[in-house]
Amino acid sequence: MNRTARVPLSSILFMVFALLCSPACTVSQNTGSTDSDPDPVQPQPAQPVDPFEQNASMQRGINLGNALEAPSEGEWGMTIREEFIQLIKDAGFDAVRIPVRWNAHAMTSSPYTIDPDFFERVDDVIEWVLERDLMIVLNIHHYNALMKDPGAHRQRFFSLWRQIAEHYHDAPNSLLFETLNEPHGELTADLWNEYLREAIGVIRESNPYRTLVIGTAPWGGFGGITDLSLPDDDRNIITTVHYYNPFHFTHQGASWVGEEADKWLGTTWTGTPEQKEQVNSDFDKVLSWAEEHNRPVHLGEFGAYSAAPMKSRELWTEYIRKSAEKRDFSWSYWEFGAGFGIYDRDQRHWRTGLLKALIPESPELESR
Ligand code: BGC
């Protein structure tokens, strides 16, 4: 692609915003400029947005996993293509979560500059998604060195957010920032509560009204929610948890877990009363925290690996999805087209049982 001929992202984001914008936001934009004012209108909304409304708009999402969060895109067999975004749109999803390993594409010493070519690649994907009127959760994913030595990576982590936030500051409200995927290791729950505050401060310098998504330590687990401390005076935040329980069912045969994962092969999930009760009790913990703190919840990852029996995967996926929706949690299935994938990229078709478990009324099911 001839990069020099490209329209800058900010212009495209603005055009998309202008197309999607309601008459109410036109008024607020117009108040910002006059005929004699040569400055471009700033699409950054003039009013704080309601995170509960934002969460409702991204009810059904999917992770574009194994692509931009691999050490380099393609290394894990998945390269995002525009047609995938169209497939996701046509299937009836509202949102995509885009995991990104920014730390693999930035200088390791100050000023920690993010590679401009990598920014352009992420811009491309974001443009494809915004053009299709889907919501986006953009995160920092697999920053493993930060988990091992948070102190050594503190400034770099905030610098990455400063750059990302400034780069996308004029994007529409439908772009959300998720501060960090699955804090763990030395980045303990207490330390994470400190880091997340500082990250919010950095992002708010350029994005006062951007909706943020903030998860729990360790590993995004629902159990960590009671240790999460968000700043009371910032209400434009959606809390996120991940759910992969029972782990020996969802991660059977998953090589990255270790050898024991092979011993779990053949584990089923049939929706017994005990199995359902466990899900309900886990989700109710999240709900009671959310109600107490008046925060919306996004179930940012859930999924069962392809080595699990398909019928069980479908039953589990449907039950988790329904359990989330019953509590007004928005959700993003892990993931589109790789090891947990609901789309078979080789055969170029949806795994209809899984798609049905997620979106029973999907137009893609009607045509079959
Ligand atoms: C990780 C993925 C992994 C998935 C399920 C995600 O948070 O980023 O690499 O496949 O969890 O284990």
Residue with structure tokens 């919840």? 297
Q: What is the predicted pLDDT for the residue at 255?
A: 95
Q: What is the predicted pLDDT for the residue at 30?
A: 30
From 73, 301, 314, 335, active-site residue: 301
- The DSSP string of 12-56 is HHHHHHHHH--HHHHHHHHTT--TT--SPPP-S-SS---HHHHHH
- The Cα–Cα gap between 341 and 64 comes to 10
- The DSSP string of 293-355 is HT--EEEEEE---TTS-HHHHHHHHHHHHHHHHHTT-EEEES-SSSTT-SEETTTTEE-HHHH
- The Cα–Cα gap between 177 and 162 comes to 12
Backbone dihedral angles phi then psi of residue 299, each to the nearest 5 degrees = -85, 95
Nearest residue by C-alpha to atom 12 in ligand 1: 251
From 69, 182, 314, 335, active-site residue: 182
Beta-sheet strands, E only, within the chain:
60-63, 95-98, 135-139, 175-178, 212-215, 237-243, 297-302, 330-333, 343-344, 349-350
Q: What is the mean pLDDT of each run of 10 residues along the chain (368 residues)?
A: 36 40 32 40 63 98 98 98 98 98 98 98 98 98 98 98 97 96 98 98 96 98 98 97 98 96 98 98 98 98 98 98 98 98 97 98 85
Nearest residue by C-alpha to atom 9 in ligand 1: 66
Atom of ligand 1 nearest to the CA of 69: 8
104 sits in the region (left: phi over 0; alpha: psi -120 to 50; else beta) called alpha
The tokens describing 157, both together, are 């982590």
- The Cα–Cα gap between 210 and 224 comes to 24
- The Cα–Cα gap between 282 and 133 comes to 33
Atom of ligand 1 nearest to the CA of 257: 12
Task: Give the amino acid at 347.
Answer: Q
Atom of ligand 1 nearest to the CA of 339: 10
Q: Annotated catalytic, 301?
A: yes
66 sits in the region (left: phi over 0; alpha: psi -120 to 50; else beta) called left
Count H helices and E strands in the chain, helices first.
14, 10
Pocket of ligand 1 (CB under 6 A): 181-182, 301, 334
Nearest alpha carbon to residue 98 among 72, 124, 136, 52: 136
- The Cα–Cα gap between 202 and 86 comes to 33
Backbone dihedral angles phi then psi of residue 346, each to the nearest 5 degrees = -70, -50
- The Cα–Cα gap between 147 and 183 comes to 7
- The Cα–Cα gap between 358 and 314 comes to 9
- Measured between its terminal Cα atoms, the distance across the chain in Å is 36
Q: What is the predicted pLDDT for the residue at 25?
A: 33
